[in-house]
Structure 1
């Protein structure tokens, strides 16, 4: 699926209300016998708003990075249950509308997680992120880590990943989705051949 307008994207983001990255996983912070909390405490809608808000706070002039944070997990809605492919699916969906950099950052947010799991194996991840590197390919090999380090957007992808990991706080007021319409329209106008802001 390729999104053709900001309105289509907004509809998809609104549809994230009540949707979860892994649909059938129970939503609790209880710890099973393995000691890892089960499920994220926020749905994809709140997670998107929190991620974008954290990026806005940390990088206020980087609208593309903020937008990448807002849309990075829409792939979970495009094919529910496909955790391994969600980043690629989301990146493909937004490329024509939001441009190559946003698409590439969305695609790299999983690689950044795998890289961080390799470079800092003891770092904590929140909720469902803890087992995700295994589902999404495991820790990187030395060759994969070297590839990621050469990626021109690696630093920005790590910034996105860190915001992604932190954006799982139940009850946090991160604003409303409508607050992002103008930013989405700005990025779309700059990068879409059609300036698709309908």
Structure 2
């Protein structure tokens, strides 16, 4: 499974997106939940699976989650993974809301922001505005590794 090794690589991937849905979602979350940086970044990267494997529809949330986990940490990955129902049990709305998961409210908020962003003409700014936050969260996820450097997912 592919993974994103650095903030620079992630930004390059996100620049390849044909729309700014992730930017609008993240901007809405920044306004409604300014203290929850990981939630904002989950909104920014939640469509990454579509960019990594455009021809595949099933499993995009899991693909996006696993791609960002080594860089942005477990919570961002979990929020992305739990966001969309894909092919049944465990990964979607049912898994996020019915199992008493600690992030169930955050997933519901993320889902609502994604839906609002799809219907919104909000000027979300530019991707470069998110780089400092991406670097901050990456540094927190891996304090011994500078945020601009590659993360080795195997820890070697």
Q: TM-score range by the shorter chain?
A: 0.7 to 0.9
Q: Aligned-residue CA RMSD in angstroms?
A: 2.1
Shift of 1:194: 2.3
Which residue of structure 1 lines up, in the alignment, with residue 118 of structure 2? 168
- Asked if 1 retains the 8 angstrom alpha-carbon contact of 2:42 and 2:80, the reply is yes
Q: Within 2, Cα distance between the matches of 1:170 and 1:59?
A: 18
Name the SS of the counterpart of 2:128 in structure 1.
Answer: helix
Q: Is the 8 A contact 1:65 1:160 kept in 2?
A: yes
Large movers: runs of 4+ above 6 Å: none
Give runs of aligned pairs for residues 51-62 of structure 1, distance below 5 A.
51-62=25-36
CA distance in 1, matches of 2:3, 2:57: 19
The alignment of Structure 1 onto Structure 2 pairs a total of residues equal to: 144
| 1:146 CA drift (Å) | 8.9
1:151 aligned to which of 96, 101, 104: 101
Separation in structure 2 between the aligned mates of residue 4 and residue 186 of structure 1, nearest angstrom: 15
2:38 equivalent to 1:70: no
- Give the C-alpha shift of residue 170 in structure 1: 6.1
Q: Deviations over 1:52-110 (max 9, x none)?
A: 00100110011100001000110001111322211000000000100000000000101
Q: Which runs of 5+ in 1 are unaligned?
A: 19-42, 112-135
Q: 1:89 and 1:5, CA in 2 relative to 1: closer, same or farther beyond 3 A?
A: same
Q: 2:152 matched to 1:187?
A: no
What's the offset of the Cα at 1:152? 1.6
Residues 184 and 88 (structure 1 numbering): CA distance in 2 closer, same or farther, change over 3 Å?
same
TM-score by length of 1: 0.67
CA contact (8 A) 1:4 1:196 kept: no
